[in-house]
A = this chain, B = another copy of it.
Amino acid sequence: MKRSLRNKVPAPELDECLRRYLKSGSKHGDTTMTLGQTRWAIAEGYIPGQSSFSDPALVSHETACILNAGETEAHIRVTVYFADRDPAGPYLVTVPPQRTLHLRFNDLERPEPIPRDTPYSTLLESDVPIVVQHTRLDSRRAEVSLLSTIAYAQAAPR
């Protein structure tokens, strides 16, 4: 990456870029390097309409855990697909540099809330590389049940 920058970026931008890289590198090793992909899909989605608890940590919820380990803010467009209607979205989400966001689909309101008890799929498109993991806590019954999986990652279209 640095090698290609040397050929294409004007000197001042390059200097600034290298300065940021060296500065951050001294704090967290290689963590400021590019990590992840810009497109992630979660084919499974379902927010149970019921919960046995009112404690927010135990309310049935569906989460996309998003890690932005990079140096620049991630602007993410979330599109939600259904079985029998047009997709909803985009929902716009921002994750600051070097931060994580555990995004609850329950909390999405604009442009419209995600319907409960309805199967859906999700696509996340970011302007910088991120890492996405999908987790659901289901507390329809008094017992809590969990599922989790890494999402499907794909490089941005060229």
Contact = CB atoms under 8 A, between A and B. Distances in A.
A150 interface: yes
A112 interface: no
Interface of A: 1, 3, 28-31, 33-36, 39, 41-46, 48, 57-58, 63, 65-67, 69, 77, 79, 81-84, 86-87, 89-90, 98-102, 117, 119-121, 123, 125, 131-136, 138, 140-154, 156-158
Nearest to A77: B29
Number of copies: 4
5 contacts: A3-B158, A31-B79, A35-B41, A43-B133, A69-B79
A46 B61 CA distance: 14
Given A29-B79, A43-B132, A157-B1, A120 B100 contact: yes
Contact of A33 (B31, B144, B157): B157
Nearest to A41: B131
Nearest to A49: B57
B65 A83 contact: no
A133 B69 contact: no
Contacts of A150: 43, 149-152
Contacts of A86: 98
Given A1-B158, A69-B81, 15 more contacts: A30-B125, A31-B125, A41-B69, A43-B132, A43-B150, A44-B65, A44-B133, A67-B81, A69-B123, A86-B98, A133-B134, A133-B149, A134-B148, A148-B149, A150-B150
